[in-house]
Amino acid sequence: MENQLQDFNLGFLIAREISERQDYGRLIEVLERWDSVNDLLRPIFIDLIESFGFYPYLNDEKISNLNLSAKYRNEFHKSNILIGGDERIRFHSEQKRAEEIISKKQNVILSAPTSFGKSLLIEEFISRKIYKNIIIIQPTLALIDETRKKLRKYTDYNIVVNTKQELDESNIFILTSERVLELLPKISEIKIDFFVIDEFYKISNSKSDERVSQLNIAFYKIMQINSPQLLLLTPNIDDISSDFLDKYNIKFITTDYSLVNQNITHIEYSGDDSDKKDRLFDLLRTISEQTIVYVRSPKRAEELALEYISNIAKTDDRLPIIRWIDENVSKEWNLKAILNHGVGIHNGQFPRHIVNSQLDYFNQGKLNIIFATTSLIEGINTAAKNIVIFDMKKSNKKLSYFDFNNIKGRAGRMMQHYSGHIFYFDAPPIKTSEKVDVPIIEQRNNLQSEVLINLEREDVKDNLKEKYNTIKSSISEELWTIFRENYYDVESQKRLYNYLIQKPNLLNELSWNSSSPSYDTLLQTMKAISHGLDNASNKSYKHVTLIAYKISKDNIKNVIDSEVQYRSEKVRDKGLHEVYNEVIFDVFKFMRTEAKFKIPKKLSVLQSIVNYILKDKIADYSLFIAKLENEGIGGLKSILLDYGVPSTAIKKIRTNLDSVEIIDYIKSNLDSLNFTDYEREIIERL
């Protein structure tokens, strides 16, 4: 195309065809080759750029060539967001259309591609300071921290990312749905003006997300309080319940508009997995730009990364994270070798600072390739020009068309890459229409019981009224309230209640309130959860107890070393290096899923029912839960974990920070806190 754009006649034909066919993709190709465009043709293409609504791509040179009315339209598309000095970001035409609708106080669901720039709309309305209290629900802590970093410049707001923080007159809550429910008593005392849910598709039962109940309940409860204005953001959906739209007066906007081209290439192979890997590695060696390789599982990501680096040279730049891994995880960890070759692994089960640091290194060009799992789908922003879809699976299941679309949407990024390249090996899913169900509205017969009992009676549909009434009549009013506020499956809670009342002696053992219960006490507590709440008859709770106990007491390196010693004595046919890597994987997975989520939730349920039976608030597991969730860190310092700071760095801070601004304190005392280079680089990015 470069030669054609240099020739006036051929370039003019391209411009005419783009105009006649409204060929957005081809115009982006011209922008990508702007230096080759004949000077006499530039005004013509600039008019096309403006008429197509590509305002973010109008720089000073291009604007100077616009006529007066086009210059006015360019001004009209300017955002309130400053990008340096007095320069303001410009919306593209579809962003502007959505912004105008939201400005009229209309509730909106916006379905748009990853490269659309949906998060810019959130920032736009925060920058205007027209809302006093704003809630933004994000599905992951990584997305919470990313959003916090974008919004921290709006100093008129108190940004709340943690349930321990105090509220101010004007607040931006950036929380998971679980944390919204934890903070609900405080939130219910103030007026929420603007309510945003990112990745809104996760409210659907069809997505099989384990936190779907919490998101449904959080949405319902917030809308009950004072009906704030809604902005619900999602990629790639075609339809949503009309009852939902009508109930909350929501306008559904769906668009495929994007300022990024996506070029798709099929990589053929023999069908043999070994040949498939060879083709992948050959491809990666030919790509100079940064690339994300999507694979079906964390184990697969590590396996492929190790095979790939066996044939490439180490990088000269030894990343600061390497030394941190040696000192705080293990010198045996495979990730060390992988990073030393300029390659990373995006695995959501790793500690968040490790995931974040790899993404930062990738965006800075220090890593060129990342092997990524389904955690990629959660919407973390990267500067990847290329996406390779190596496996057309998500774990052992075939990728849905929705997930396939979401993954390939990571290729390219507006204002960084005009084009993204997608390479795939296996046949992609067949295109299907994507409809999002909203359980709290549709209320099918399989509606989760914890969602059902949190509905007000008048909102329960006829098909579920009998079930609702049966649950309510089977327990006392006080227990009904406890069950509702636990946000947990009702039958499991009833089973736990019946299990406990049959074991009065056990209740005494469960009436503890220490931050450091004895191992035997914790063992009995986890047994009650396993047998009563989970209805498990095996002894798997013993190993869960042991790991949880160690995590609450010790640093992660010692936990890993201890578990390696235990397994090495039992398994003689594996080398120490292999055992270490298995243990590291399992410990990090346990910390992510069990220690930070499942066990704390179950302990809270157990505590509430123990205290109900005993008619006194004797049991209080909150101090232990805080230690388990936060790797032994208590108080407000635990907020730093949400900011992506390693626990190893936080434990070096001896000062009580309850009454000071944490980040300011740390940054002003960097030289005296004995941080490693890696810990320091993370803190400097806060």
DSSP per residue, 10-45: HHHHHHHHHHHHT-HHHHHHHHHTGGGS-TTTHHHH
Do residues 674 and 317 touch, judged by C-beta distance below 8 A?
no
User: What was the pLDDT predicted at 570?
Assistant: 80
C-alpha dist (Å) from residue 467 to 62, 487, 489 = 65, 17, 14
Closest C-alpha among 641, 630, 653, 645 to residue 680? 645
Give tens-digit pLDDT for 123-136.
999 999 999 999 99
Query: What's the whole-number average pLDDT of the chain?
Result: 91
Q: What local confidence, expressed as pLDDT, does residue 83 receive?
A: 77
Q: Summarize the confidence of residues 260-272 as an average pLDDT.
A: 92
Binned at pLDDT 50, 70 and 90, residue 379 comes out as low
Q: How confident is the model at residue 378 (pLDDT cuts 50, 70, 90)?
A: low
Greater confidence, 632 or 682? 682
- CA separation, residue 609 to residues 287, 479, 486, 603, 606 (Å): 58, 8, 10, 10, 5
pLDDT value, residue 298: 92
Closest CA to 53 of 98, 102, 93, 7: 93
Please tell me the predicted confidence (pLDDT) of residue 380: 63
- Tens of pLDDT, residues 396-426: 999 999 999 889 888 877 667 788 899 999 9
Q: To which residue do tokens 């209320």 refer?
A: 443
* Higher per-residue confidence, 420 vs 107: 107
- As a whole number of angstroms, the distance between CA 610 and CA 625 comes to 16
pLDDT at 211: 87
Question: Range with the lowest mean pLDDT among 105-109, 142-146, 187-191, 300-304?
Answer: 142-146
pLDDT of res. 381: 66
Q: How many CB atoms lie within 10 A of CB 396?
A: 7
Between 415 and 80, where is the model more confident? Answer: 80
- The helix (run of H) or strand (run of E) holding residue 79 is strand 78-82
Q: What's the pLDDT score for residue 657?
A: 63
User: pLDDT band for position 194 (50/70/90)?
Assistant: very high
- pLDDT (mean) for 13-38: 93
pLDDT at 226 over 90: no
Percent of the chain with pLDDT over 70: 98
Grade residue 358 by pLDDT with cuts at 50, 70 and 90.
very high
Classify residue 76 as exposed, middle or buried by CB count within 10 Å of its CB (0-12, 13-18, 19+). exposed
* Per-residue pLDDT tens over the stretch 588-618: 999 999 999 999 999 999 999 999 999 887 9
Q: pLDDT tens digits, residue range 44-76?
A: 999 999 999 999 988 877 888 888 999 999 899
Report the pLDDT value the prediction gives residue 643, as an integer from 0 to 100. 86
Q: With contact defined as beta carbons under 8 Å apart, do 371 and 301 qualify? A: yes
pLDDT band at 635, cuts 50/70/90? Answer: confident
Does residue 245 carry a pLDDT above 90? yes
Rg, C-alpha atoms of the chain: 27
User: What is the H or E stretch that residue 460 is in?
Assistant: none
Which DSSP letter does residue 427 get? P
The model's pTM: 0.93
Please state, for a pLDDT cut of 90, what percent of the chain lies above it.
Answer: 71
Q: What is the pLDDT of residues 576-587, one digit of tens each?
A: 999 999 999 999
Confidence class of residue 653 from pLDDT cuts 50, 70 and 90? confident
Q: How far apart are alpha carbons 330 and 310 in whole angstroms? A: 21
3 state DSSP class of 389: strand
Over residues 496-517, the pLDDT tens digits come to: 999 999 998 899 999 999 999 9
> Nearest 10 degrees: CA dihedral of 274, 279, 282, 285?
-100
Compute CA distances 603 → 163, 400, 590, 594, whole Å.
Answer: 17, 35, 16, 11
What digits encode the pLDDT tens for the residues 291-307?
A: 999 999 999 999 999 99
pLDDT, mean of residues 168-174:
96
pLDDT at 642 over 60: yes
Distance CA 99, CA 93 (A): 10
Burial of 671 (C-beta count, 10 Å sphere; 0-12/13-18/19+): exposed
Q: Give 659's pLDDT tier (boundaries 50, 70, 90).
A: very low
